[in-house]
Amino acid sequence: MDKRKECSTVVDKPRLISILGSTGSIGSNTIDLIARTPEHYIISALACKQNARLLAQQAKKLQAVFVAIEDKNAWPVLRNALAGTGIEAAAGTEAVLEAAKRPAEWTMCSIVGAAGLAPTLEAVRRGHTVALANKEALVCAGSLFIREAMRTGCQILPVDSEHNAIFQLFDSRKREGIEKITLTASGGPFRTLSRKEMACKTPSQAAAHPNWSMGTKVSIDSATIMNKGLEIIEAHYLFAIPEVQIDVLIHPESVVHSMVSYIDGSVIAQLSSPDMRTPIAYCLAWPKRMDTIIKNLDLVSIGQLSFFALDNNRFPAISLAREALRAKGDAACVMNAANEVAVEAFVAGRIGFTEISSVVYETMQRCPTEDIDNLESVFRSNAKGRRIADDIISDFTGVSIADRRRYLLLPNFSMKSVAVMHNKKI
Ligand SMILES: NC(=O)c1ccc[n+]([C@@H]2O[C@H](COP(=O)([O-])OP(=O)(O)OC[C@H]3O[C@@H](n4cnc5c(N)ncnc54)[C@H](OP(=O)(O)O)[C@@H]3O)[C@@H](O)[C@H]2O)c1
């Protein structure tokens, strides 16, 4: 009997599922996997921000019970598209929260950015199983989310390919035998460039990831390697492992997704094609496995795999993330907020590529660390980080990108001092 077919029985009875952020890259891949065997699932709720047409199409295809759209301007399109289908629908931030509260045994949390925090927390509080793609939940409020998951017995399954790999390899019964975990990073499209060469790259060049097809924000984070910085923070909370035991290794082929090193010298790695449908399928079928159309790796045709040490000088984001973890409190939340603002400013042409890490660094310097106790304090810290990052970017109004780049190549860059230097013509 075909082993792939034999193992493809995912569930014994249909599973009640919700997808928050269903129209994005992760959400759409989840829908595609579900649509292969729709009889295994009942779709409780779908939610997105504004893509009413795609949301309606998904809801009709999978016969969802409830759909929510955050942007009220998109409501008329959604309402018309669902007229006569019997599918319940609502608009606004509360509607997205309602989608997260609807009964579900398994929820994909894939809303991008800080907007995903409250819905993800609702899903964790409801218990059962949460497939976690939204990095910000653990980056901004790791202790809070893990505490709530332990309280409700919620099983968090990491969707990020690196954490998903570690989840498959990490033997928590032998925790004392684990020496370190290693997160691999492709190095992004600018892996071999100097900081000077990176400085003139455009948003579309930064978003063109060599191996993975992902949303714009996460692709640009891969180019700055801030994505890996965020992943160090995620890994710290997911696996309760100190930051010093989390390594990063550049691996351009993106075939080895991560590794766990044991004290006896064993290193266990997880390999697969760079296709997010593999970790999503793992989460969807967990604790079983499901058949997908993704081909198994052909290592002979790949031929060779390469690994390089990370250059922290060219890619300062990892050092910033480690500093944020060591600082505790809201430092990682502030860092994440500054990064979001800086990436938005880069996409809008307001700052250059290498200035993204400069804005994050300067924001962290200006923000004293505060405690995070609840979601309200997360939102305050997020707003604080966003405001300060925005102020820093505004300091540059009237200063040409070319002039700023000259100064930002200095090792001890400081956005404010650059602006001051420029105005004084030093
Ligand atoms: N893509 C990847 O390969 C990948 C890998 C690892 C981790 N992740 C993480 O997974 C998350 C999703 O990434 P992605 O690449 O799928 O992002 P994406 O393609 O940009 O999709 C984001 C999704 O979130 C929805 N959304 C945004 N703001 C919302 C709001 N206020 N309320 C409700 N829904 C909202 C979007 O709706 P609209 O479509 O209507 O705007 C969309 O469905 C991110 O945190 C990312 O870091 C992604």
Continuous segment of H or E residues that includes residue 261 = strand 256-262
Q: Tell me the three state secondary structure of residue 54.
A: helix
328-406 and 15-158 share a CATH fold: no
HSE-up of residue 33 (Cα within 13 Å, Cβ side)? 27
For tokens 């109004």, what's the residue? Answer: 397
Q: Atom 10 (ligand 1): residue with closest C-alpha?
A: 133
213 annotated among ligand-binding-site residues? no
How many CB atoms sit inside 10 A of residue 340's CB?
Answer: 21
To the question of domain 328-406 being in CATH 3.40.50.10470, the answer is no
- Contact yes or no for 49/13 (Cβ under 8 A): no
Among candidate residues 190, 179, 336, 340, the one with its CA nearest the CA of residue 250: 190
222 annotated among ligand-binding-site residues? yes
Among candidate residues 213, 78, 218, 70, the one with its CA nearest the CA of residue 139: 218
For tokens 């939204």, what's the residue? Answer: 134
Q: From CA 87, how far away is CA 59, in angstroms rounded?
A: 8
- Nearest atom of ligand 1 to the alpha carbon of 133: 10
- Contact yes or no for 109/134 (Cβ under 8 A): yes
295 annotated among ligand-binding-site residues? no
- Helix, strand, coil distribution of the chain in percent, nearest 5: 50, 15, 35
- Contact yes or no for 302/253 (Cβ under 8 A): yes
Residue 359: burial class (beta carbons within 10 Å; 0-12, 13-18, 19+): buried
Q: Atom 3 (ligand 1): residue with closest C-alpha?
A: 214
DSSP letter at 243 equals G
Phi/psi at 32 (nearest 5 deg)?
A: -60, -40
Q: From CA 417, how far away is CA 181, in angstroms rounded?
A: 38
Which parts of the chain sit beneath pLDDT 50?
1-10, 409-413, 421-422, 424-426
Q: Where are the domains of the chain?
A: 15-158, 161-315, 328-406
Look up the CATH number of domain 15-158.
3.40.50.720
- Nearest atom of ligand 1 to the alpha carbon of 160: 6
Q: Tell me the three state secondary structure of residue 257.
A: strand
Q: CA angle, 116 as apex, 24 and 156 as ends, to 5°?
A: 95
Tell me which residues have their CB closer than 6 angstroms to ligand 1: 21-27, 47-51, 70, 96, 110-112, 115, 133-135, 160, 212, 214-215, 218, 276
Q: Atom 39 (ligand 1): residue with closest C-alpha?
A: 23
272 annotated among ligand-binding-site residues? no
Residue 294: burial class (beta carbons within 10 Å; 0-12, 13-18, 19+): middle
Q: What's residue 3's pLDDT?
A: 40
Q: Tell me the three state secondary structure of residue 175.
A: helix
Q: From CA 403, how far away is CA 222, in angstroms rounded?
A: 26
Q: From CA 133, how far away is CA 107, in angstroms rounded?
A: 10
Q: What's residue 139's pLDDT?
A: 97
23 annotated among ligand-binding-site residues? yes
Q: Is the peptide bond before 287 cis (omega within 30 degrees of 0)?
A: yes
Q: What's residue 301's pLDDT?
A: 95
- Contact yes or no for 332/324 (Cβ under 8 A): yes
CA 379 – ligand 1 centroid, Å: 19
Phi/psi at 112 (nearest 5 deg)?
A: -80, 140
Probe residue for ligand 1, chosen from 54, 97, 110 as the CB with the greatest number of ligand atoms within 8 Å: 110
Q: What's residue 143's pLDDT?
A: 94
